[in-house]
């Protein structure tokens, strides 16, 4: 039943009445009156409740990829009645309030980092809590290299460590210049969210772009870094080849 103005529903004595004060808020008063209708004996304010609902913005729902020094913004929407209390966390722990800024305006809440550091990779969670319970959501993954670029000499060893997170844990794949890596010379070790590519003795042909990707049921995210391999210097002529 709907009404543009407050309405009253009554039953015979002993009577009870129901008044809806405002359609927009749906607040309701339940009042019991005495048989002679002379005085109120009991009155309650009834407020409908809704459990929290939490959703990351579509731009970050499937994961975020950033580099050190770039800014990070994680927008989300938290709804419920009464409006839930919002809390943010990183890897199930309290956020760094000295560097991470949270802005909440009504149902909209965002976490900001002005200049991201390498340690900022990981899982970011947002939760909403009201009288009906708690709901939590987390960004799928932040995939990043520990290096923005590597420069080595031919003959030196190369190690490219990366972090890949997600739920369920993503399947990890490595590539070089968008092609399959040389598995005869390049070794990949993956343990949980940590994955590294190794080359024992780098050659000039090993320069290029190395890519790592993580794939799970929510999608795929990839990151890349550049490797420069300089010619090896020989002491007898001081030249590099």
- Closest to 161 (Cα-Cα) out of 146, 151, 141: 146
Outline which parts of the chain fall under CATH 2.60.40.10. Answer: 50-138, 144-230
Residue 91 has pLDDT above 70, yes or no: yes
CA distances from 14 to 9, 28, 30, 36 (A): 13, 20, 14, 8
Each residue's pLDDT tens digit, 170-184: 899 999 999 999 999
The model's confidence at residue 17, banded by pLDDT at 50, 70 and 90, is low
- Mean pLDDT, rounded, for 207-231: 87
The C-alpha atoms of residue 199 and residue 191 are separated, in whole angstroms, by 18
pLDDT at site 59: 81
User: Domain spanning 50-138: which superfamily?
Assistant: Immunoglobulins (2.60.40.10)
List of residues 6+ apart from 237 with CB closer than 8 A: none
- Mean pLDDT, rounded, for 217-241: 69
The C-alpha atoms of residue 104 and residue 120 are separated, in whole angstroms, by 21
Residue 139 · residue 123 · CB < 8 Å: yes
pLDDT at site 3: 44
The model's confidence at residue 123, banded by pLDDT at 50, 70 and 90, is confident
pLDDT at site 149: 75
pTM over 0.75: no
Rounded mean pLDDT of the chain?
A: 79
Max avg pLDDT among 21-25, 40-44, 165-169? 165-169
Residue 29 has pLDDT above 70, yes or no: no
In degrees rounded to 5, what are phi and psi of residue 204?
Answer: -55, -35
How many CA atoms lie less than 13 Å away from 58 in the CB half-sphere?
0
List of residues 6+ apart from 76 with CB closer than 8 A: 54, 55, 56, 57, 108, 109, 110, 126, 137
SS3 for 204?
helix
The model's confidence at residue 212, banded by pLDDT at 50, 70 and 90, is very high
Each residue's pLDDT tens digit, 71-84: 889 999 999 999 99
- Cβ neighbours, 10 Å, residue 197: 22
pLDDT at site 32: 55
Residue 19 has pLDDT above 60, yes or no: no
As a CATH number, domain 144-230 is: 2.60.40.10
Residue 224 has pLDDT above 50, yes or no: yes
Report residue 7 as tokens: 């309405």
Residue 137 has pLDDT above 60, yes or no: yes
**DSSP per-residue string spanning 35-99:** TTSSSEEEEEEE---EEEEEEE-TTTTT-B---TTS-EEEEEEEEEESPPEEEEEETTEE--TTT
Residue 208 has pLDDT above 70, yes or no: yes
- Mean pLDDT, rounded, for 157-174: 89
Residue 143 · residue 190 · CB < 8 Å: no
- Cβ neighbours, 10 Å, residue 221: 23
């Amino acid at each position: 039943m709907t009404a543009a103005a407050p309405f009253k529903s009554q039953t015979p004595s002993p009577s009870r009445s129901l008044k809806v004060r405002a359609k927009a808020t749906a607040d309701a008063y339940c009042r019991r009156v005495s048989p002679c209708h002379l005085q109120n004996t009991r009155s309650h304010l009834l407020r409908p409740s809704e459990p929290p609902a939490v959703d990351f913005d579509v731009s970050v729902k499937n994961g975020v990829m950033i580099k050190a020094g770039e800014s990070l913004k994680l927008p989300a929407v938290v709804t419920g009645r009464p409006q839930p209390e919002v809390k943010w966390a990183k890897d199930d722990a309290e956020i760094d309030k000295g560097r991470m800024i949270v802005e909440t305006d009504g149902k909209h809440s965002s976490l900001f980092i002005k200049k991201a550091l390498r340690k900022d990779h990981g899982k970011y969670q947002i939760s909403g809590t009201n009288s009906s319970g708690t709901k939590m959501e987390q960004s799928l993954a932040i995939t990043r290299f520990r290096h923005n670029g590597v420069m080595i000499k031919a003959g030196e060893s190369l190690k490219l460590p990366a972090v890949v997170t997600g739920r369920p844990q993503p399947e990890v794949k490595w590539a070089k210049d968008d092609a399959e890596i040389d598995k005869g010379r390049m070794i990949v070790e993956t343990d949980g969210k940590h994955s590294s590519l190794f080359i024992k003795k780098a050659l000039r042909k090993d320069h290029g772009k190395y890519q790592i990707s993580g794939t799970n049921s929510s999608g795929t995210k990839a990151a890349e870094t550049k490797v420069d391999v300089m010619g090896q210097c020989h002491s007898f002529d001081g030249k590099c080849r």
